């Protein structure tokens, strides 16, 4: 094809094959050199242009999560408390204790606890045939009570899986609660409860959800997998209510937990960013507190007024 084109160029005789070949060789050589030069110069020009227009493209974001130092220290502190009290030996999972402790610290940071040494946990992720109520003395570092506890009749059978904040739902409520006064009522010696999570458990006082003793909650019925259910009250074995209620009443933290997605997403306490009071007290953690989120005072807007003692 190239020979044909060159044969049409004026001044070049068709008979002069040697001259044709020389010209073709020169043309091919110059073409190759030109292509090589283009291959090297074009990308360099593009890269230079890109750098001048988008200089920030070189600042790639980190793919690793940047966990706040305060959160890391909180995990470490809870881990040390969990191991010291040996909560694993009584069936309480570490992640449940962490959530409970965080909420307890939140209420303590707001000055809402009159009995800050105590933390009570009801773990509805466990079967009703298990001892899933824990009363923990954080100051003494020991479990005071570990016993059975009921859930609402409409929350489920062996396991509690449905929860409500609605009157007459006969379901249990999740979340953080502050214990109220003891009294004697239709269920005998009982204790009022104050829910402090708006939309989650702030109706439990109006629902008459209280802690009381019950004959349908005991070891025998648990062994037969026949633990009774309540109208939503966390009832404990009859006879044990006296010691438990007298210990935790009037201003201690009660946390009722289950792996409920709606609760985990909507709880403002579980998702709060704040400085844990216990970490500020521990000298070895003080120097690491500065990076903690400064939104600690965002607060729990609309929380129930736990200072108004219940009557009855």
Distance CA 295, CA 292 (A): 9
Distance CA 133, CA 236 (A): 9
Distance CA 189, CA 177 (A): 19
Regarding predicted confidence, which is higher, 60 or 223? 223
Tokens of 283: 């000298």
Q: Express each pLDDT in 242-257 by its tens digit.
A: 999 999 999 999 999 9
The CATH fold assigned to 69-296 is L,D-transpeptidase catalytic domain-like (2.40.440)
Q: Is 16 helix (H, G, I), strand (E, B) or coil?
A: coil
Q: Express each pLDDT in 162-195 by its tens digit.
A: 999 999 999 999 999 999 999 999 999 999 999 9
pLDDT at 281: 79
pLDDT at 35: 55
Q: Quickly tell me which residue has 């009037």 as its tokens.
A: 250
Q: Is the pLDDT of residue 49 over 70?
A: no
Provide mean pLDDT across the span 102-107: 98
Measuring CA to CA, which residue among 114, 115, 108 is closest to residue 137?
A: 115
pTM over 0.75: no
Q: Is the pLDDT of residue 205 over 70?
A: yes
Q: Is 200 helix (H, G, I), strand (E, B) or coil?
A: coil
Average pLDDT score, the chain: 80
Q: Is the pLDDT of residue 54 over 90?
A: no
Q: Where are the domains of the chain?
A: 2-54, 69-296
Pairing, β 118-123 against β 142-147: unpaired
Please, which pLDDT band fits residue 310 given cuts at 50, 70 and 90? Answer: very low
pLDDT at 226: 80
Provide mean pLDDT across the span 284-294: 46
Q: Give the DSSP letter of residue 251.
A: T
Share of the chain above pLDDT 70, in %: 68
Provide mean pLDDT across the span 217-238: 93
């Amino acid at each position: 094809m190239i020979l044909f084109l060159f044969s049409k160029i004026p001044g070049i005789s068709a008979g002069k094959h040697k001259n044709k070949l020389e010209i073709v060789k020169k043309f091919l050589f110059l073409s190759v050199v030109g292509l090589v030069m283009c291959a090297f110069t074009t990308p360099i020009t593009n890269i230079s242009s890109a750098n001048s227009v988008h200089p920030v493209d070189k600042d790639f974001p980190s793919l690793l999560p940047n966990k706040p130092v305060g959160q890391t220290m909180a995990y470490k502190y809870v881990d040390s408390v969990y191991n010291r009290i040996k909560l694993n030996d009584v069936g309480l999972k570490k992640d449940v204790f962490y959530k409970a402790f965080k909420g307890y610290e939140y209420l303590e940071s707001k000055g809402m606890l009159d009995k800050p040494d105590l933390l009570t946990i009801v773990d509805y992720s466990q079967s009703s045939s298990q001892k899933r109520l824990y009363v923990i003395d954080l100051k003494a570092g020991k479990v005071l009570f570990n016993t059975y506890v009921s859930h609402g009749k409409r929350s489920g059978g062996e396991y509690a899986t449905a929860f409500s904040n609605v009157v007459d739902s006969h379901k249990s409520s999740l979340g953080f609660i502050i214990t109220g006064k003891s009294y004697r009522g239709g269920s005998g010696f009982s204790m009022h409860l104050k829910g402090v999570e708006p939309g989650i458990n702030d109706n439990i006082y109006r629902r008459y959800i209280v802690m009381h003793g019950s004959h349908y909650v005991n070891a025998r019925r648990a062994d037969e997998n026949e633990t009774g259910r309540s109208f939503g009250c966390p009832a404990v074995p009859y006879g044990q209510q006296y010691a438990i209620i007298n210990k935790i009443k009037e201003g201690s933290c009660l946390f009722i937990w289950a792996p409920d997605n709606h609760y985990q997403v909507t709880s403002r306490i579980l998702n709060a960013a704040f400085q844990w009071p216990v970490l500020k007290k521990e000298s070895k953690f003080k120097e690491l507190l500065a990076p903690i989120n400064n939104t600690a005072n965002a607060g729990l807007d609309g929380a129930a007024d736990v200072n108004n003692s219940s009557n009855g």
